[in-house]
Structure 1
């Protein structure tokens, strides 16, 4: 799945996440967040090696149901799922290797 550079309002519900099939990475953040902008090259590079992982980019903030359900507190937060189950998460990733390790976990889990 191609890398998306923009966060968009929630396009997936907690129920859809719970019933998802296969590997899924949800990236929480905002377009104006400096930490989120700094992480983008690392996320993009890691995703190039895992085209089979669905990548959903969610604009987070006050009152956003999905982020609150998953207890997201800092951005960017990458939450990794396999068949609807959370496997791991990264908060404010600052390198490609950690992201690739998490992607490998959900692809091979």
Structure 2
């Protein structure tokens, strides 16, 4: 597992996400979003040290059920999950340090 650069299509159902085992980061955004594009370099640097963390990129928008179920309002929103449960969240991260801290938190056993 490693950081992915492509958006997952179709998006998984919330029930599937809730049943994921291990550390996972769901990145909600859009390919045309300037904030999302700016976050890619810091995300790549942070993920480089965490190859065990699953990364799922979800194109969000009006009528997208998964983003609404996580109450996403701004892009990018990163939801850090451990065994399907949210343990951290970052909205519009702009640096590696915050992402790295959340990745360390999601990788820690419960």
Same fold (TM over 0.5): yes
Unaligned runs of 5+ in 2: none
Would you say how many aligned residue pairs link Structure 1 and Structure 2? 109
Shift of 1:29: 0.2
- TM-score with structure 2 length normalisation? 0.94
Q: Whole-Å Cα distance in 2 between the matches of residues 84 and 2 of structure 1?
A: 18
Deviation readout 1:43-83 (Å, 9 max, x if unpaired):
01100000000000000000000000000000000000001
Q: Whole-Å Cα distance in 2 between the matches of residues 8 and 53 of structure 1?
A: 16
Unaligned runs of 5+ in 1: none
Q: Whole-Å Cα distance in 2 between the matches of residues 58 and 10 of structure 1?
A: 9
Deviation readout 1:1-45 (Å, 9 max, x if unpaired):
232223244432100111111001000000000000000000011
Residue 55 to residue 75, structure 1, CA distance change in 2 (3 Å): same
Root-mean-square deviation (CA, aligned residues, Å) is 1.1
- TM-score with structure 1 length normalisation? 0.95
